[in-house]
Amino acid sequence: MSESEEQVRARLERVVAPLRHKPGPLLEVLHAVQHEFGYVPSTVVAPLAEMLNLSRAEVHGVLSFYHHFRHSPPGKHVLQLCRAEACQSMGARALATHVQQSTGLDWHQTSGDGLLSLEPVFCLGNCACAPALMLDGELHGRVSAERVDELLASLVSLS
């Protein structure tokens, strides 16, 4: 059952309270909201604007500007594949094609069973160990197609 508006508002207030006194807090607040809900639901825009004394347009503008903030719930696991130049020099394009074909997911998509989200990322700072990916916040370097298959298989067996 989905939460009532009051319940969402209570969670929001708890998240915002320790941050609202900070100078220029909106980005910090959105990070905290995403941490709490897994994404930033569009329904929080109006209450956030009210709590932070901003306009809804300002909150929406910031939320939609940054790639990091999700607008829908992510899968149980999030796979971020690096698409930047250093990884491309070591076969990241072919690796991305392999992952897209084997999972059936395009960028920013989540599998039907909610297990996996595929996201592009532009540099993980692991450029001397390319190609790189991050799976649920864990960095992996020198990743081959076989290694990705192993990592993905381990997710299936865990779930």
Partner 1 sequence: MSTPVTIYIPRDAAALSLGAEAVAKAVAKAASASGNAVRIVRNGSRGLFWLEPLVEVVTSAGRIAYGPVLPADVPDLFSAGFLQGAAHRLRLGDITQLPYLARQQRLTFARVGVIDPISIEEYVAHQGYQGLRRALELAPVAIVKEVTDSGLRGRGGAAFPTGIKWQTVHDQKAAQKYICCNADEGDSGTFSDRMLMEGDPLTLIEGMTIAGLAVGATQGYIYLRAEYPHAHRTLLEAIAAARQAGYLGADLLGSGRSFELEVRVGAGAYICGEETSMLESLEGRRGEVRVRPPLPAIKGLFAQPTVVNNVITLGTVPVILRDGATAYRDFGQARSRGTLPLQLAGNVRHGGLIERAFDLTVRELIEEYGGGTASGRPVRAVQIGGPLGAYLPVSQLDTPLEYEALAAAGGLLGHGGVVVFDDTVDMLQMARYAMEFCALESCGKCTPCRIGSTRGTEVIDRISQGIDREGNIALLEDLCNTMFNGSLCGLGGMTPYPVRSALKHFGNDFRRRPAGRTH
Catalog residues that contact partner 1 under the rule CB under 8 A: 23-31, 58, 61-62, 65-69, 84-90, 121-130, 132, 134, 137-142
- Cα 158 to Cα 77, 78, 116, 153, distances in angstroms: 11, 14, 12, 9
Return the number of the residue (7 or 97) whose C-beta is nearest partner 1: 97
Q: In angstroms, what is the minimal distance from the CB of 144 to partner 1? A: 12
Identify which of 23, 132, 115, 40 has the alpha carbon closest to the alpha carbon of residue 78.
115
Return the number of the residue (10 or 30) whose C-beta is nearest partner 1: 30
Distance CA 134, CA 98 (A): 16
Return the number of the residue (14 or 68) whose C-beta is nearest partner 1: 68
Answer yes or no: are the C-beta atoms of 124 and 139 closer than 8 Å. Answer: yes
Q: In angstroms, what is the minimal distance from the CB of 55 to partner 1? A: 12
Q: In angstroms, what is the minimal distance from the CB of 121 to partner 1? A: 6
Return the number of the residue (3 or 85) whose C-beta is nearest partner 1: 85
Residues 6 or more apart whose CB falls under 8 angstroms from that of 70 comprise 34, 38, 39, 40
Q: In angstroms, what is the minimal distance from the CB of 6 to partner 1? A: 26
- Give the count of beta carbons closer than 10 Å to the beta carbon of residue 129: 16
